[in-house]
């Protein structure tokens, strides 16, 4: 994530010891197209519109806080990924970023596959008609019931994450007289973060089987002997919000090395490799994500080169973008409630949501941008911290940003790039009602996940 000090600094820049806030755009009224979904613009009155509908109307009809998802942008991103990788590769959308029945239908229509990592995600995928063979099932501790359901549904692949699971899946498949297609998830000893990657000690995590020490080779050995399994390949996922292809380079090289070892030991060329997801998006103007076609070309060049060097046939590649598809397609709309200027520090702007609809800032210091969207303003920029209404001082949505100094209660502000890991990680903290997701397209808006109600909360409370 981008971290930069504002060179000129606002009046009290010296108190910002953490030093990571984004410089104000030359004009706060300009919406940087990098961080907003494709159909967002300002109308003649200066209000933000998405899919041709103004935010005032959206707020009136659907309330705030709410997530507005630009459906044509979502579909365009799906197509861009599918086209970039072409028919010789597979794109799996990582459902954990955001999943609903409407999303499953869009994915199905746009030709993508789907990753799920729980019984609930699998149920949503199947209910909305995703063909089971286009579903991959992930997770480091799938329950027996989840594995049974996945095998019975006929999912296209289960990604095996541990030695116990190799045996569990094999047993469940064998009992049902099927051979389950599986991949083995390996940890390659690389963990990629934002702009750099670190190549030490990243076997020290809960996911996957280490390549180091021959663990992964042993997992392959076991999987190949079990009748219930058809081992189709090796899986590696190295991190999230990655901009630099160097981590994928190392990861692909190590996975291909394993394929070569497997060929030498067993005389089998595994036909597929999955390089995972984690591709970065622009949360602020300083992030520069790559286009899908550049990513596709880079990955396919790396794999082709490594396979030639190892004298292997090039395997079929799959990738699993979640954030890179849905992240940029939605924004969260909030109403400003209270404003507290702290002389010499910053201004706290409280909105009607918070950590219950966006936990990422509190959870891992994620950076976001924010804009006044119900109108434009010629007022000076003021340094703000956008906070929620929860009983936690860490309830921060946007840590450091600039909004016009004439901001007032009742104004609508929006945080872009909240399509991924916001609604899907939303909570009921303080008995907050989780916001709706509204799909907007071509002048029409419809709720795809409705707002929770107090009745929903009370229905679960059976005491």
Ligand X SMILES: *Cc1c(COP(=O)(O)O)cnc(C)c1O
C-alpha span between 293 and 176 (Å, rounded): 41
Shortest separation between residue 116's beta carbon and ligand X, angstroms: 11
Asked whether position 289 contacts ligand X by CB under 6 A, the answer is no
C-alpha span between 263 and 390 (Å, rounded): 56
C-alpha span between 372 and 205 (Å, rounded): 41
Shortest separation between residue 239's beta carbon and ligand X, angstroms: 8
Nearer residue to ligand X within complex by CB, 277 or 354: 277
Asked whether position 322 contacts ligand X by CB under 6 A, the answer is yes
Asked whether position 320 contacts ligand X by CB under 6 A, the answer is yes
| Residues that contact ligand X, how many (by CB under 6 A) | 17
Nearer residue to ligand X within complex by CB, 24 or 280: 280
Asked whether position 277 contacts ligand X by CB under 6 A, the answer is yes
- Which of 315, 321, 381, 419 is the binder for ligand X (CB under 6 A)? 321
What string of DSSP letters covers 59-90? Answer: HHHH-SSEEEEEHHHHHHHHHHHHHHH-TTEE
Shortest separation between residue 138's beta carbon and ligand X, angstroms: 5
Shortest separation between residue 185's beta carbon and ligand X, angstroms: 7
Kindly write out the interface string for residues 124-163 of this chain, putting x where it contacts ligand X by CB under 6 A and - elsewhere: --------------x-------------------------
Residue 154: CB atoms within 10 A of its CB come to 13
The helix (H) or strand (E) run that includes residue 371 is strand 371-372
Shortest separation between residue 87's beta carbon and ligand X, angstroms: 21
Asked whether position 233 contacts ligand X by CB under 6 A, the answer is no
Q: Which stretch binds ligand X (CB under 6 A): 47-55, 210-218, 322-330, 359-367?
A: 322-330
**57 contact partners, CB below 8 Å, separation of at least 6:** none
Asked whether position 360 contacts ligand X by CB under 6 A, the answer is no
Q: What's the token pair of residue 277? A: 């997801």
Kindly write out the interface string for residues 91-130 of this chain, putting x where it contacts ligand X by CB under 6 A and - elsewhere: ---x-xx-----------------x---------------
Pair 423, 437: CB distance under 8 Å: yes
The helix (H) or strand (E) run that includes residue 166 is helix 163-175
117 in active site: no
3-state class of 272 per DSSP?
strand
Q: How far is residue 424 from each of residues 67, 330, 351, 456, measured CA to CA in Å?
A: 11, 13, 20, 17
Nearer residue to ligand X within complex by CB, 24 or 239: 239
Residue nearest to ligand X (CB): 322
Asked whether position 262 contacts ligand X by CB under 6 A, the answer is no
Shortest separation between residue 146's beta carbon and ligand X, angstroms: 16
Nearer residue to ligand X within complex by CB, 161 or 400: 161
| Among the listed residues 313, 309, 246, the one whose alpha carbon sits nearest the alpha carbon of residue 273 | 313
- Which of 231, 324, 401, 403 is the binder for ligand X (CB under 6 A)? 324
Q: Which stretch binds ligand X (CB under 6 A): 2-10, 319-327, 329-337, 362-370?
A: 319-327
Asked whether position 237 contacts ligand X by CB under 6 A, the answer is yes
Strands 229-235 and 180-187: parallel
Shortest separation between residue 292's beta carbon and ligand X, angstroms: 12
3-state class of 313 per DSSP?
coil
Can you tell me which residue has the tokens 């953490």? Answer: 18
The helix (H) or strand (E) run that includes residue 262 is helix 246-266
Q: What's the token pair of residue 267? A: 């005389």
Q: First CA to last CA across the chain, in angstroms?
A: 44
C-alpha span between 165 and 137 (Å, rounded): 12
Q: Counting beta carbons within 10 angstroms of the beta carbon of residue 344, is it exposed (0 to 12), middle (13 to 18) or buried (19 or more)?
A: exposed
Asked whether position 292 contacts ligand X by CB under 6 A, the answer is no
Shortest separation between residue 450's beta carbon and ligand X, angstroms: 24
Q: Which stretch binds ligand X (CB under 6 A): 89-97, 105-113, 210-218, 258-266?
A: 89-97
Q: Estimate the crossing angle of helix 246-266 against helix 215-225, to 10 degrees.
A: 50
Alpha helices by DSSP H, listed for 311-427, are 323-326, 360-364
Please identify which of the residues 78, 117, 307, 391 carries the catalytic annotation: 391
Asked whether position 202 contacts ligand X by CB under 6 A, the answer is no
- Which of 134, 149, 323, 399 is the binder for ligand X (CB under 6 A)? 323
Shortest separation between residue 94's beta carbon and ligand X, angstroms: 3
Asked whether position 190 contacts ligand X by CB under 6 A, the answer is no
**7 contact partners, CB below 8 Å, separation of at least 6:** 23
Kindly write out the interface string for residues 399-438 of this chain, putting x where it contacts ligand X by CB under 6 A and - elsewhere: ---------------------x------------------
Asked whether position 328 contacts ligand X by CB under 6 A, the answer is no
C-alpha span between 4 and 210 (Å, rounded): 36
The residues carrying an active-site annotation are: 391
Give the residues lining the site for ligand X (CB under 6 A): 94, 96-97, 115, 138, 237, 240, 276-279, 320-324, 420
């Amino acid at each position: 994530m981008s971290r930069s000090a504002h060179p000129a600094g606002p009046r009290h820049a010296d108190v910002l010891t953490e030093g990571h806030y984004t410089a104000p755009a030359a004009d706060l009224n300009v919406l940087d197209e990098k961080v907003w979904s494709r159909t967002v613009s300002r109308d003649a009155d200066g209000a933000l519109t998405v899919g041709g509908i103004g935010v005032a109307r959206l707020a009136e009809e659907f309330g705030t806080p709410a997530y507005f998802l630009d459906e044509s942008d979502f579909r365009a991103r799906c197509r861009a990924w599918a086209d970039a990788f072409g028919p010789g590769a597979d794109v799996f959308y990582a459902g954990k970023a955001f999943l609903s029945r409407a999303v499953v239908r869009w994915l199905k229509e746009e030709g993508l596959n789907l990753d799920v990592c729980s019984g609930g995600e699998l149920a949503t995928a199947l209910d909305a008609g995703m063909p089971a063979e286009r579903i991959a099932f992930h997770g480091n501790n799938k329950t027996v019931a989840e594995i049974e359901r996945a095998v019975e549904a006929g999912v296209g692949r289960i990604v095996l994450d541990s030695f116990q699971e190799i045996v569990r899946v094999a047993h469940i498949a064998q009992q049902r007289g099927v051979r389950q297609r599986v991949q083995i998830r390996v940890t390659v000893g690389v963990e990629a973060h934002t702009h750099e990657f670190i190549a030490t000690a990243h076997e020290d995590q809960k996911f996957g089987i280490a390549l180091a020490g021959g663990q992964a080779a042993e997992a392959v050995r076991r999987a190949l002997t079990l009748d219930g399994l058809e081992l189709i390949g090796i899986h590696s996922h190295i991190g999230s919000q990655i901009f630099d292809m160097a981590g994928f380079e190392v990861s692909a090289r190590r996975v291909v090395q394993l394929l070569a070892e497997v060929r030498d030991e067993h005389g089998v060329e595994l036909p597929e490799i999955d390089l995972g997801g984690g591709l970065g998006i622009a949360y602020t103007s300083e992030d520069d994500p790559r286009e899908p076609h550049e990513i596709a070309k880079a990955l396919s060049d790396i794999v082709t080169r490594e396979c030639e060097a190892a004298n292997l046939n090039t395997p079929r590649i799959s990738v699993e973008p979640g954030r890179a598809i849905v992240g940029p397609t939605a924004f969260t709309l909030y109403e400003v409630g209270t404003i507290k200027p702290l002389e010499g520090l910053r201004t706290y702007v409280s909105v009607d949501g918070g950590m219950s609809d966006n936990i990422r800032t509190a959870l891992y210091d994620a950076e976001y941008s924010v804009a006044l969207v119900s109108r434009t303003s010629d007022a000076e920029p003021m340094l703000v911290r956008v906070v929620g209404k929860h009983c936690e001082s860490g309830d921060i949505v946007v840590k450091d940003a600039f909004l016009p100094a004439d901001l007032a209660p009742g104004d609508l502000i929006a945080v872009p790039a909240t399509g991924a890991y916001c609604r899907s990680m939303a909570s009921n903290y303080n008995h907050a009602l989780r916001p709706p997701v509204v799909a907007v397209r071509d002048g029409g808006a419809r709720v795809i996940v409705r707002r929770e109600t107090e009745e929903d909360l009370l229905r679960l409370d059976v005491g």
